[in-house]
Structure 1
């Protein structure tokens, strides 16, 4: 995410004095709630969906994820890259390419 976007999210929260409500557990719950709303976009038809609604719900998930990263004092790039290192080790291309198997089944 671009820094200007991150700053905008932070300013939105700060301007409304909402940080007081952003305990990690509340933000984690909000991520799940918004992710469920994202999934709801595909509830009855996984091919014909409202793309604008999907983008809105995806944005909500991402905003709450940024808020949680801020609250925990973690850098999203750092934690994503660490997780990608783990995923690349678990799912080497030569074993995983074109397969949906879990790493312990490759």
Structure 2
């Protein structure tokens, strides 16, 4: 199964329940933000080391997987409603970021692209 298959499955799931009327771009963005917030809450007070080991606990791992899935589901629905080819959009954005963050300037730094020129100053 690939992303297109999942998007089609979500589309069918939504259609069979007559939920398209509720899946406006605004509502989907709000739902996406809510699900991302629920995912964030699982990590909120963890140390970096604890966050790296979050999948070691089976119960917490299930929660993380479900929130990641919910987040992806709303993102796929949003892309469907707005007729965005999500894979093409991501490929294009990677191209943009490769230009913004050339390896020789960006390697090993978290500086934003507009601050990279001053890295070696």
Residue in structure 1 matched with residue 57 of structure 2 by the alignment: none
Residue in structure 2 matched with residue 44 of structure 1 by the alignment: 45
Residue in structure 1 matched with residue 7 of structure 2 by the alignment: 6
Larger Rg: 2
Residue in structure 2 matched with residue 92 of structure 1 by the alignment: 102
TM normalised by structure 1 equals 0.92
| Aligned-pair CA distance for 1:104 | 1.2
Q: Distance in 1 between matches of 2:82 and 2:92?
A: 16
Matched length: 106
The DSSP-based 3-state class of the residue aligned with 1:19 is coil
Unaligned regions of 5+ residues in structure 2, if any? Answer: 55-59, 117-121
1:83 aligned residue (87, 93, 97): 93
2:83 aligned residue (73, 76, 80): 73
CA RMSD across the alignment: 1.4
Q: Distance in 1 between matches of 2:30 and 2:12?
A: 22
Runs of 4+ aligned residues of structure 1 deviating over 4 Å after TM superposition are none
Judge conservation of contact 2:35–2:70 (CA < 8 Å) in 1.
Answer: yes
TM normalised by structure 2 equals 0.81
Question: For structure 1, which segment, 90-99 or 39-48, has the greater mean C-alpha deviation from structure 2 after superposition?
Answer: 39-48
